[in-house]
Amino acid sequence: TQLLEQSPQFLSIQEGENLTVYCNSSSVFSSLQWYRQEPGEGPVLLVTVVTGGEVKKLKRLTFQFGDARKDSSLHITAAQPGDTGLYLCAGVSDKLIFGTGTRLQVFP
């Protein structure tokens, strides 16, 4: 069974701080996706990273795919309350395998 472990599980920070969320697996994936889920809603796709070592930026969010395509990170610069939510990584094989999730709370 392919597993994706995310860390930390919970993160509570003040507005303006930087943070990094990690997504690790022992399996190699063809690509990896990041989703954000807000309370009462389904996950929404943020980005797909495909190539080992790839870095993608989405405003204040920076996503990186590990060289070996087994891990990924999400870095948020100057977090804002609107970034609050559950962040999920998902490894792509024949189906999506979702990570355990990181719940982020950003206080004003």
Instruction: Check binding of 17 to other proteins (CB under 8 A).
Output: no
Q: Which whole-number Å values give the CA distances from 58 to 10, 75, 86, 92, in the listed order? A: 22, 10, 17, 20
Output the smallest distance, CB 19 to other proteins, in A.
20
Q: Which whole-number Å values give the CA distances from 27 to 23, 44, 62, 91, in the listed order? A: 12, 24, 22, 9
Nearest to 32 by CA among 1, 77, 74: 74
Q: Residue 103's Cα: distance from chain center in Å?
A: 10
Look-up: residue for tokens 């999400």? 74
Output the smallest distance, CB 18 to other proteins, in A.
25
Instruction: Check binding of 22 to other proteins (CB under 8 A).
Output: no
- Measured CA to CA, the distance from residue 81 to residue 73 in angstroms comes to 20
Residues 26-85 that bind other proteins (CB under 8 A): 30-31, 33, 40-45, 48, 50
Among 11, 101, 104, 106, binds other proteins (CB under 8 A): 101
Query: Of 49 and 106, which CB lies nearer to other proteins in the complex structure?
Result: 49
Query: Of 76 and 97, which CB lies nearer to other proteins in the complex structure?
Result: 97
List contacts with other proteins (CB under 8 A).
Answer: 30-31, 33, 40-45, 48, 50, 88, 92, 94-96, 98-101
